Structure 1
């Protein structure tokens, strides 16, 4: 029996995962959380083999959850399931210790295969994500977004999506002042002065879709 823990701030997504897994006798959903903080607290006392984790969470991000679980004595292996299939994030997540990465558009059978493979000690990267990583590796100049911190990268992506500062603050469970500070730092690191320039740079380096 593979014990699975679900982490996603959207209840409908967790419900969908849970209903899918309950249809198969080799899976057991042992818990779920809507935030990284809640997940880390519960996983200290809830044994799990595989953690399905969203990347964008309020407060602690999925990348931070992955990093903390990897550095702890938890036996749980992490699969990040995210709408973000390109750009620098998949590589950053895998470098942080994730055992799997696939997009939320992946078919159900692929998700089940990923969980089973990771539970057996393998690493699983969806074909779409692997292709994007291979393409980005051909860019010998590197991405300027690599120099951003995890939180700065998250804020940058949300700004590119056109979200207002107050909305980003609510999404990440941070103050508007903190978001403004992250914005200032990421603009300085990337050498941009406005959202339009940030968006063009993000498109150029695969952080956003046309």
Structure 2
């Protein structure tokens, strides 16, 4: 039996995933969380085989959750769910250590095959993501976010949620001064001058969904 945990701040997304997974004889949803912090606790408690994690949530993002689960040597294999469509998929997300990458527009069959593949220890890349990465390698044009470290990407995701530097610092255990340095560095690397430009760039590259911006 493949035990699965769902981590997404949209209840409808979790419900959809749960309905598909619960119909399978070999799968069981053992918990759901609306935030990465809660998701991390669930992973520690339930030790599921697979966690389906939204890349962008209020507070800690799916990237940070993945990295923390890795550091804690959790046996749970993580599948990141992103909204990437036709934009350049950041290879940086692959470095976070998740085993699978799905897009929110995936079919039920794709979801099931990704969960089974990752549960057996194999990597799963959504066809659209795999195709983009192949194209990026061919034409040498990756996502601008590839230039960022995973910590800079994390700070960028929190900035577009409108979080003040002090709060970002608290959540990532960094001083506001360090967060400010990260902010400056990532803005330079991405050639943007303000958070609105950063949010636009992130939307174009599938790191955040358009309606996710003003929600929290």
Q: Same fold (TM over 0.5)?
A: yes
Deviation at 1:3, TM superposition (A): 0.1
Residues 14 and 133 (structure 1 numbering): CA distance in 2 closer, same or farther, change over 3 Å? same
Is residue 167 of structure 2 the alignment partner of residue 169 of structure 1?
A: no
Deviation at 1:18, TM superposition (A): 1.0
Matches within 5 A, 1:1-210: 1-85=1-85, 86-89=87-90, 91-140=91-140, 144-150=144-150, 152-153=152-153, 168-169=162-163, 174=168, 181=180, 183-193=183-193, 202=201, 207=205
- Flag structure 1 segments of 5+ consecutive residues without an equivalent: 160-164
Residues 140 and 39 (structure 1 numbering): CA distance in 2 closer, same or farther, change over 3 Å? same
Count of residues in correspondence between the two structures: 194
CA distance in 2, matches of 1:108, 1:79: 15
- SS of equivalent to 2:110: helix
Aligned-residue CA RMSD in angstroms?
3.1
Aligned 8 A contact 1:66 1:93 in 2: no
- SS of equivalent to 1:98: coil
CA distance in 2, matches of 1:27, 1:101: 19
Q: Deviations over 1:12-42 (max 9, x none)?
A: 1111111111111211011111111111122
- Flag structure 2 segments of 5+ consecutive residues without an equivalent: 170-175, 210-216
Aligned 8 A contact 2:155 2:168 in 1: no
Q: Deviations over 1:63-88 (max 9, x none)?
A: 11111212322111011111125435
